[in-house]
Amino acid sequence: MEITAKTAAQLRITEEEFELIKSKLGRTPNFTELCAFSGMWSEHCSYKNSIKWLKTLPRDGKKMLVKAGEENAGLMDIGDGYGVVFKIESHNHPSAIEPFQGAATGVGGINRDIFTMGARPIASLNSLRFGNLSEAKTRHLLSGVVHGIGHYGNCFGVPTVGGEIYFENCYYTNPLVNAMSVGIVKNGETVSATAEGTGNPVFFVGSATGKDGIGGASFASAEITEDSAEDLPAVQVGDPFQEKKLLEACLEVIQTGAVVGMQDMGAAGIICSTAEMSAKGNAGMRIELDKVPMRQSNMKAWELLLSESQERMLLVVKKGEEKSVLDVFEKWDLPCSHIGEVTGDGLLQFYMNGELEAVIPAHELVLGGGAPQYERAYSKPEYLKKIEAFDVNSIVDDKDIKSIAEKLVALPNIASKRWVYDQYDSMVGTGNTNTNSPSDAAVVIAKPTNKALALTTDCNSRYVFADPYKGAMIAVAEAARNIVCSGGEPLGVTNCLNFGNPYDPQVYYQFVHAIQGMGEACRKFDTPVTGGNVSFYNQSPDGPVYPTPTIGMVGLLNDISDKMTLDFKEAGDLIYVLGHLKNDIHSSEYLHKIIGEEFSPAPYFDLEEEYAVQQLVLQLIRKKMIASAHDVSEGGLLISLLESAFNRSMGFEVSQTDKNIRTDAYWFGEAQGRIVVSVKPSMVDSFLQLLNAQSVPFAQLGVVTSREVTVEKSNFGAISDWKKMYDNSIGNVMSVSN
């Protein structure tokens, strides 16, 4: 078969890249070799259009135990001899085509990233985006994705403890499914994804390899079109019970001391794990592909290299200690096949039935090695002119507070996600503390220590659409705010950067400015970016999705007794809002969904003010001066008050403290940097004394009551009626026949 630029183009390799491959090899690659480059040089594996900007993010911190990007996931010190391992990744394209398996295998893949380092996963989170919930297709995708996440997570035995879901028209064709996993490991017991020691055997462990998932990495590096359903074989199929066995076996085999290196086979399958491990260890490998367990007969070498069949690991083992490894996997009834050895020449040599099928220098395939790196042109998006032209004075100040609140509390972006999380097992492992005591972030006990982890995923992509730089800063700040309101101190960030086509200069502008804003906020909060994922090509013929740089953040509670919850506790407690009250309705749910304004600036945000508010709240929590803390986010101040009242069915009586602010902005604006707290009467004097010594503005809104909601002396009814609207909104829509 003659290999030409046309052949390369069919594998999504550009003519320029094809010439580069030929120069690196000193010859024209054969088809198997070209397939290897196709997978490894795809956007999904090489970050070729993003790595330049990713390197500008803060990647070092005093608690970092491995460098960012050095391993499969981030690793940070939490004290007492333990570390936390965490990462978030996307599975957007597969979920758009086959929502159940796309989401399920996303959960499986991110958990493998955690336990391949030797950590035990203790919690999962997700960040999801869909189109308008009134559309039958959206309901189909939501139902399939939620079922897939629940099925895999519940069977695997890791609790799903938190997440977020937004519904916007731009995600109709391209839903976003971002999965995060968090694990605990004893310091010194981690395993690196490396290959070292000439002659050390290479083992393939786990499920047999089939044709599912072939080309998944390159499939994820192209736009979704009407013909994308024809790429269905690129969606993997998962088996959570097999993964549970693989988890236990991998953690046990590490204890034998026989493992040199280990890596899961995710995107691009065998070629990725062999290339990355070899390049990291400055080694090579000789692999006999016919020894790889296969689910289908007569699989070709390139199919075996690119298959993304799930629940598989590649291990490099110390020569002479093979038996201890084989014994562990036999105990767990998992296939374990000796498929090759480590070499010292830096070459990947793949044989099939004794015939040499491919020879490639490992270094030339990988990110940071020979994979190309591009600097794309970018230009300011045209739509930003509409945002800059927005005049808030054109919007009449609607003073019907109750009517607006009734509409907002039932919006899918604001309403309870109970229909979703009821399908997830949130309590397996008995580490989740939030089931009966909700906090802004999930709080999970970091067993066996007495510490706890505060976990969250956050990004309001409409803010990023309105102002990519400020919107990305807000995403980081909101994640930190949720951690702080839960009693934790922000520790580190993993990100999942979801954007449209990077070759579109206006999309790339969004990406560049979002990275810059994210970096500035992470530096302020001292939360280094430990790793993550870039997902480009979230674009259809209708256009790109909102720029969505999802922030996964981990915070630390040195003692579980420091946990703070969001719910009002007792009638008579006083309610305060901390932070600046602003005359701002920009990009709010009220303005966007109720008024119908698509183009308005991002809401008010000041990084220094945000940081000061968060530091104050941490002090208040540690000094035991407040009874609850809940941030003001989507829906504004009144929605935050309602959410604080729901858990214990409390009421509240509040009034507007600043009549210079428009009524709709006061109650429903989404200006950032505000936190609602409640204070017991016995603590008010010391609370006010501390606040008066600070520079953070505050205002007393009112008082917690029993059952009834009263705003501006008007009775808005029983909190139970509001909770009914809030709890049942999404479930009522999902019960509609598709």
Q: What is the pLDDT of residue 436?
A: 78
Judgement on whether residues 248 and 285 belong to the same structural domain of the protein: yes
Co-location of 200 and 340 in the same domain: yes
Q: What's the mean pLDDT when you consider all of the chain? A: 93
Question: Residue 647: which domain range?
Answer: 383-422+564-738
Is 10 a member of any domain?
no
Model confidence pLDDT, tens digit, residues 119-151: 999 999 999 999 999 999 999 999 999 999 999
* Domain harbouring 606, CATH code: 3.90.650.10
Out of 69-78, 627-636, 710-719, pick the least confident.
69-78
Taking only the tens place, the pLDDT of each residue in 536-549 is 999 988 899 999 99
Residues 713 and 655: beta-carbon distance below 8 Å: yes
Q: Which one of 372, 406, 431 terminates a domain? A: 372
Asked if residue 37 belongs to a domain, the reply is no
Pair (392, 368) in one structural domain = no
Q: Is residue 356 part of a domain?
A: yes
Same domain, residue pair 406 and 335? no
Residue 672 to residue 607: CA distance in whole angstroms: 9
pLDDT of residue 736: 76
Picking from 339, 372, 405, the residue at the C-terminal end of a domain is 372
Nearest Cα to 442, choosing from 493, 479, 477? 479
Helix residue ranges per DSSP H, 220-290: 240-254, 269-280
Asked if residue 392 belongs to a domain, the reply is yes
Q: Is residue 100 a part of any domain in this protein?
A: no
What's the CA gap between 124 and 434, in Å, rounded?
A: 14
Q: Are residues 353 and 401 in the same domain?
A: no
Active-site residue, from 91, 151, 580, 592: 91
Q: Is residue 162 part of a domain?
A: no
Task: Return the DSSP state at 91.
Answer: -
Do 584 and 635 belong together in one domain? yes
Question: What is the mean predicted confidence (pLDDT) over 687-695?
Answer: 95
Check if 91 is active-site.
yes
Per the domain annotation, does 477 fall within a domain?
no
322 with 418, same domain: the answer is no
Residues 260 and 213 in one domain: yes
Write down which residue in 372, 391, 406 finishes a domain. 372
Give per-residue pLDDT as tens, 449-475: 889 999 999 999 999 999 999 999 999
Give the pLDDT band (50/70/90) at residue 219.
Answer: very low
Confidence category of residue 232, pLDDT binned at 50, 70, 90: very low
pTM equals 0.95
For residue 586, pLDDT over 60 is answered with yes
430 — pLDDT class (breaks 50, 70, 90): low
Does 602 share its domain with 638? yes
Cβ contact 91:177 at 8 Å: yes
Let me know whether 283 and 388 are in one domain: no
Residue 673: predicted pLDDT: 98
**Which distant-in-sequence residues (6+ apart) come within 8 Å of 231 by Cβ?**
97, 215, 219
Residue 295 has what pLDDT? 86
pLDDT of 223 strictly over 70:
no
Q: Work out how many domains the chain is built from and give that number.
A: 2
**pLDDT above 60 for 628:** yes
pLDDT tens-digit map of 262-308 = 999 877 889 999 999 999 999 999 999 999 999 888 899 999 999 98
Q: Do 701 and 723 fall within a single domain?
A: yes
Question: In terms of domains, do 394 and 257 share one?
Answer: no
In a domain? residue 684: yes
- On whether the CB atoms of residues 289 and 351 are closer than 8 A, the answer is yes
* Range list of H helices, 332-400: 362-365, 384-388
> Rounded to an integer, what distance in angstroms lies between the CA atom of residue 180 and that of residue 52?
24
Determine whether 44 is an active site residue. yes
